[in-house]
Chains A and B, each alone.
Chain A
Amino acid sequence: MEFFDLFQLPFMQRAFIAGIFLGALLAFLGVFATLRKMAFFGEGIAHASLAGISIAILAGLSPLPIAIAWSMFIGLLIFLLERRTRLSSDTLIGILFTSSMALGVVLMSFTSGYQPELLSFLFGNILGVRPTDLLIIAVATIIILSWLLHSLRELTYLSLNEESARVSGIRVETKTLMLYMSLSVATVLGVKILGIILVSALLIIPPATSRLLTNTFRTYMIGSVIVSELAIIGGLLSSYWLDIPSGAAIVLVGTIGFFLAMGIHYSRT
């Protein structure tokens, strides 16, 4: 098959469009997640979404919307418990993600037979993105990215120093809650392509790679999105040509990019 014939295939078109949307969204959110040392948040939400997926499968509903709603609920719980207990964020995320995953495993034990939906969420299947999934991904990405761009100054300030942001009149609690909700939704959407196990890579690797190459916040954000898109496009193409799982291919291409950036960084310093 010729190179451009690849893009004639409807499932590949959907895969690339979904990947481009999610690449931008996860990389953008990843900037704030890594600056706020919340990389574990994405990992936790992704694993916690298993309970939502299990509920949907048992009830015969579409897994993606239920998983999104469940993850937002877990994100809200983390936000509330962080403010009402003396426990650290990591501890709370650890408790909620393992218990939610345990609930998912128990619920899955009530189902019988082969569960392709479950496998696709565990390991990701970008080539199995349906038109309705693509619609949800596109709408959610546009809404969240618009909010992120609109709140960029406030989010940057409160990520840098919460107290000063509060003094300047920024509604820190509201913005933080919205950030948690956005991260929850984006992570579950990312699960669709990368799977529960690998999705947090797109929150961490692009910002980390960009950080090695940039020296202003603006270029750091733009660089993170570019690295993410390159990893997704490169990963999808290698997945197609080498016949390897798409999620793993995206992560590995991103990792190669990270080590290349590290080489450039050390050659400069």
Chain B
Amino acid sequence: MSSAIHVEDLSVRFGSKQVLDDISFCVDQGQIAALIGPNGSGKTTLLKTLLGLVPMHTGEVLFFDRPLNAFREKIGYVPQRFEFQDDFPITVTEFMNLAVAQQLDEKAIVGKLDEVGLPASATSSLLGTLSGGQLQRVLIAQALLNEPELLLLDEPSTGIDIVGEAEFYNILKNLNKQRGTTILLVSHDVSMVSKLVDQVICINKCLLCAGPPQTMLTQQKLTELYGKHAAVHNQQKHKH
């Protein structure tokens, strides 16, 4: 099986500050992988580096053996917070069409919205009037327009309630199963990660572990990653 994402010796510096140090990992095609780590560990920076939004100091990133620019069209991205002026007068249909060079007809857009559980009536809604959960679904639907082979999501359940969160992860699971889309998501929710993903990549400035959640999310690893208290907290969460 070929690597969907191949990261080798990746380092990022902001001025003299080392933000990510010598990170290497692979995500196989068709996998769901999660980047986990404490706040400030560099998860979002790593994701943004993969997307070319943050420059690498050293290292190499390949997608299906190709550099970013040769594979960009096949990557879908859902940011943690899609910041925009909520009075921007743009409908969901118009927003969806921003991601594609050729304008899509209403039917194609309705089809994509349906895949993420949104009704056809959402097409004429103004983007600024959507709830957090609806906006996240629209962002995923937009990311799916180019039939991506790889989906990158940064804390995708931010701003969604518990019920919405469960539905949201079901959508991701279905996408992965039905389309074979490789998914890499940043998450702080270890209990969700343990149920959903095939691989966890633990970082705290540098790579601490990478592998299946069953073997990687041990108390020892979690203590190493989050500190003593966080590991206990996560264990209790699992028991519940």
Footprint of B on A, CB under 8 Å? 35, 37, 153, 156-157, 159-161, 163-169, 211, 214-218, 220
Contact = CB atoms under 8 A, between A and B. Distances in A.
B95 interface: yes
A208 to B, nearest CB: 11
Give the one of B82, B87, B90, B97 with max A CB within 10 A: B90
B94 A169 contact: no
A160 B53 contact: no
**Nearest 5 interchain pairs by C-beta:** A157-B98, A217-B90, A220-B89, A167-B77, A217-B94
Contact of A160 (B73, B95, B101, B126): B95
A215 B72 CA distance: 32
Nearest to B152: A167
Give the one of A159, A160, A211, A218 with max B CB within 10 A: A160
Contacts of B133: none
A163 B79 contact: yes
Contacts of B99: 157, 168
B91 A216 contact: yes
Given A166-B53, A167-B77, A215 B98 contact: no
Given A153-B97, A216-B94, A164 B89 contact: no
27 contacts: A35-B88, A37-B85, A153-B97, A156-B90, A156-B94, A156-B98, A157-B99, A159-B88, A160-B84, A160-B98, A163-B53, A164-B77, A164-B79, A164-B82, A167-B51, A167-B52, A167-B72, A167-B77, A168-B72, A168-B98, A214-B89, A215-B89, A215-B91, A215-B126, A216-B91, A217-B88, A218-B94
B105 interface: no
B83 interface: yes
A165 B72 CA distance: 12
A122 B73 CA distance: 49
Nearest to A167: B77
Nearest to A170: B98
A217 B98 CA distance: 11
Contact of B73 (A153, A156, A169, A218): A169
A160 B95 CA distance: 9
Given A156-B90, A166-B52, 18 more contacts: A153-B98, A153-B101, A159-B88, A160-B98, A161-B79, A161-B82, A161-B83, A163-B53, A164-B82, A167-B72, A169-B72, A214-B89, A215-B89, A216-B89, A216-B90, A216-B91, A217-B89, A217-B91
Contacts of B79: 161, 163-164
A188 to B, nearest CB: 28
